[in-house]
């Protein structure tokens, strides 16, 4: 199985003091696993992850009695593991439960166990049974997994994610988090309650060995439960073989939807900060596209109003021009974004033109000792001494064209399930038209 992604170069700087008695940061430790096999895809790891050495460095033959498809069911002495190697060449990871083993035979037997379970129950989800579906469209599904209820699954998922995240620190204390797992099931294998078929090409039909895997796990994001800082996302990862397919934007959109900002009592928030360099780059692009859709009238706010629905027209010799005055806070409220994120996105886009403030008009307020006093106009006549930023739709359109932005939202409102689903009256006609087009 060929390697899919080459790992990035290791960091050349360290913030640890040479006199510090503490162990080096976990992000600076050498990789302990060369590559992983997830399902039937093999790819290289990027960073160290605290998998137990007693399991991943075991050179003993796998147990022959793999009752119920269990993995990691035995203990290996430290001497036995250290005698072999300090690095695991290949770690096999189950895409259904994220249990792991360095032994291919044990892995195949374990997957056959999952295959038998799915033959008995076709609607068995590719995640723990307690998981709740929150989104399903075009073969892509997002499942909510409670870190308190499914501790082992979320711990294993976190350990796997650390192989590709330099700054991840939560591995075992998963009780305070919710995990949202992204999966893809080809329409011909979709669950009876799940995905809508589309004409999207199955991204991995390359003739690899068929291990009975009808669904692939593509990535996940997590968030605190509850978040006292109004964060709608704590950690996000699309696994390396599936990156550069706009799937990160899909998960980001889902995270904003689940914050419930559209409804009374909902929360306007954003990702946990500070962001990594790659994380900030990804979010700046996501925020910029979100604002572009709103300003071009391609998306509506919580009340179904588009940005120019109640705008004023300036009449003149030329055709009427629509104008709309919005504060940064109002843009944030109508897109579900924090004001600071709106400002960052507008600066990144470079579409704002500055208009300097007008001087406040003054009026004579009377005389004291024969000297006239000038006071600023009060009440409704006051002109605020603030800088105004002008955003022209033509500038937004140029930015969209230059950066090849798809003005359709990464998620379809019709794909949300349960409490997140819209009523029939709220269904977006564009989603209906899109689905009809996909079905042709």
Task: Let me know the angle formed at the C-alpha of 195 by 190 and 197, rounded to the nearest 5 degrees.
Answer: 85
Active site residue 272: yes
Contact yes or no for 257/278 (Cβ under 8 A): no
**Among 171, 287, 182, CA closest to 237:** 182
Q: Can you spell out the DSSP letters for 316-333? A: SSS--EEE----HHHHHH
Token couple for 242: 């599936």
Given the residues 150, 272, 398, 435, select the one marked as catalytic: 272
3-state helix, strand, coil in the chain (%, to 5): 30, 20, 50
Look at the alpha carbons of 64, 70, 75, 78 in this order and tell me if their dihedral is positive or negative: positive
Contact 376, 362 (CB under 8 A): yes
With contact defined as beta carbons under 8 Å apart, do 347 and 333 qualify?
A: no
The whole-angstrom separation of Cα 24 and Cα 15 is 9
How would you class 424 by CB atoms within 10 Å of its CB: exposed for 0-12, middle for 13-18, buried for 19 or more? Answer: exposed
List CB contacts of 373: < 8 A, sequence separation 6 or more: 364, 365, 366, 367
Q: How far apart are CA 411 and CA 431, in angstroms?
A: 10
Query: Are the C-beta atoms of 33 and 72 separated by less than 8 Å?
Result: no
Please, which residues bridge with residue 217 across strands?
Answer: 183
Q: How far is residue 381 from each of residues 31, 319, 325, 355, 378, measured CA to CA in Å?
A: 66, 30, 18, 20, 6
Catalytic residues: 272
């Amino acid at each position: 199985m060929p390697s899919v992604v080459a790992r990035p170069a290791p960091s050349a700087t360290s913030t640890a003091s040479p006199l510090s008695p503490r162990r080096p940061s976990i992000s600076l430790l050498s990789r302990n696993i060369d590559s992983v096999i997830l399902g039937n895809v093999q790819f290289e790891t990027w960073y160290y992850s605290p998998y137990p050495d007693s399991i991943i460095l075991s050179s003993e033959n796998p147990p022959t009695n793999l009752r119920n498809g269990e993995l990691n069911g035995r203990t290996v002495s430290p001497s036995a593991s250290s005698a072999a190697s300090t690095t695991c060449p290949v770690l096999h990871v189950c895409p259904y439960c994220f249990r792991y083993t360095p032994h291919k035979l044990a892995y195949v037997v374990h997957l056959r166990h999952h295959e038998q379970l799915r033959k008995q129950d076709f609607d068995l989800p590719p995640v723990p049974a307690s998981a709740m579906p929150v989104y399903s469209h075009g073969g892509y599904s997002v499942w909510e997994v409670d870190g308190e209820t499914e501790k082992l699954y979320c711990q294993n998922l976190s350990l796997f994610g650390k192989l590709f995240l330099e700054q991840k620190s939560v591995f075992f204390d998963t009780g305070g988090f919710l995990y949202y797992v992204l999966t893809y099931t080809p329409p011909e294998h979709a669950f009876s309650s799940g995905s809508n078929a589309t004409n999207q090409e199955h991204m991995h039909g390359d003739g690899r060995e068929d291990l009975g895997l009808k669904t692939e796990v593509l990535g996940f994001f997590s968030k605190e439960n509850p978040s006292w800082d109004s964060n709608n996302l704590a950690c996000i990862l699309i696994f390396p073989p599936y990156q550069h397919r706009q799937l990160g934007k899909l998960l980001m959109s889902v995270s904003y939807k689940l914050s419930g900002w559209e409804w009374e009592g909902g929360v306007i928030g954003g990702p946990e900060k500070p962001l990594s360099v790659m994380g900030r780059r990804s979010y700046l692009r996501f925020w910029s596209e979100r604002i572009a859709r709103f300003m071009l009238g391609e998306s509506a706010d919580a009340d179904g109003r588009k940005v120019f629905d109640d705008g004023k027209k300036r009449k003149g010799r030329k055709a009427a021009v629509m104008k709309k005055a919005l504060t940064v806070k109002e843009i944030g409220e109508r897109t579900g974004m924090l004001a600071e994120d709106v400002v960052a996105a507008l600066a990144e886009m470079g579409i704002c033109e500055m208009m300097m403030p007008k001087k406040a008009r003054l009026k004579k307020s009377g005389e004291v000792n024969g000297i006239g006093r000038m006071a600023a106009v009060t009440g409704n006549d006051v002109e605020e001494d603030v800088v105004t930023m002008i955003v022209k739709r033509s500038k937004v359109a140029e930015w969209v064209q230059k950066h090849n932005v798809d003005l359709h939202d990464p998620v379809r409102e019709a794909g949300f399930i349960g409490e997140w689903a819209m009523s029939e009256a709220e269904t977006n006609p564009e989603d209906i038209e899109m689905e009809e087009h996909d079905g042709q």
